[in-house]
Amino acid sequence: MNYEPVIGLEVHVQLKTKTKVFCGCSTEFGNEPNSQVCPVCLGFPGSLPVLNRAALDHAIKAGLALNCTVAEYTKFDRKHYYYPDLPKNIQISQYDLPVSKDGYLDIEIDGRTKRIRIRRAHLEEDAGKLIHKETTSLIDYNRTGQPLLEIVSEPDMNSPEEAYEYLTDLKSVIQYTDVSDCDMEKGTLRCDANISLRPAGTTGLGVKSELKNLNSFKAVREALAYEIERHRQILNEGGQVVQETRLWDEKTGQTLAMRTKEEAKDYRYFPEPDLPPFTPVKEEIDRIKKEIPELPKEKCRRFMKEHGLGKSDAQQLTLSMQDAEFAEAVIRAFPGANKKPAVNWLIGPLASEANARNRQMHELGVSPEDLVELVRFMEDQEISNLAAKTVLSDMIDTHRTAAQIVKEKNLIQISDESSIENDIDAVIAENPKVVNDLTGGRSNALMFLVGQVMKRTKGKANPKVVQDMLKRRFPNV
């Protein structure tokens, strides 16, 4: 039987606030364990939570950017669940009246647009962090009580690739709104995935597995692919899938059973008695809406229209807002109507350097004006493409300009034919067999001679000029 995967994602985004969601403790990352705690986030008897207004504003802003409807009336609830790293043994979350709901995010997959509905985006407090040693476990409560926005999709995705695209686009939108840095290494973006299979062509839902311990978008894609095959094998053999929570083991490339999956009733939600309901004011929602910048897809369409970029190039350059601003500054500064040389360097050598250094393009320390100067050197054939890439690396390492590096290393290409003539004569005299091959019509021998001239000139001869001169010497090639 043919089966169709059905996938829904729960994305937890840690909001970028200076203090925690219900107390005044700092949210700064990387400090000494248990140095950012107080009676409220540690759950001491008699301590009372107070909602961080900035966290609520951030939650509303993210919801609006994801096309959600902001609730006119919202409240917090107690979720009863034992968290070893949440000392209250409850979590303050939202159940039936989330801050926003009924949104969507459009993704592009296989050349088509698909809408992924967002069921809800609710505000809650984060748990702490367990550090497991060989014989014991330690707890760092610094993260306890940090504001989380949980974004729950409908089960609208049907492949690991669609889930990957959804996560990529969601992260980009959230980063554009500046409510979170979405850094998975720091744990400010985490994802759980729900996966089930159903007979192709039907609309029901099968028994699902919830996947946890997904530390990257790549892990999400691989874990889903594994789980799809596991479900399919069970069903084809006449077995029944058990609803459970499973952990992804990146080392073995397998999922492992963790616990039987709970239902909402198991959490025994009831309204949080220490926090009043909230009624977001329309004027405040309108103010927050005006703060939302041009979002990735809007910026992508504008890049295509204003700068003549292809869709693929525009999408790559607008994933990050800071990189998009940097790229646009480069494109605007590049002279002439044809911006393709600048775009090619942005998505080629510069992106390659950023990936190799685990940074974004705007973090490399190269100004838009300096990059334009470097590309102009190459476009004007003053330096070779290879030399230009070396110069770019030096610019990043030393924070000097292209002109300074080109001058210091004497990289200007020789394009004057009279300056190259003697080198060509010498190479022809030194390689009579290659010359005979050329005379006999073996055109590939021409590039050997070009290489020899480049070697004699220590790479400074303009290879195109050398090639043109040799073609005139051997017109039959």
- pLDDT for 11 equals 97
- pLDDT for 262 equals 66
- pLDDT for 217 equals 95
- pLDDT for 261 equals 64
pTM metric for this prediction: 0.85
Low-confidence ranges of the chain (pLDDT < 50): none
Domain ranges of the chain: 3-288, 294-408, 417-473
Q: Are 183 and 189 in contact (CB under 8 A)?
A: yes
Architecture of the domain spanning 417-473: Orthogonal Bundle (1.10)
- pLDDT for 441 equals 67
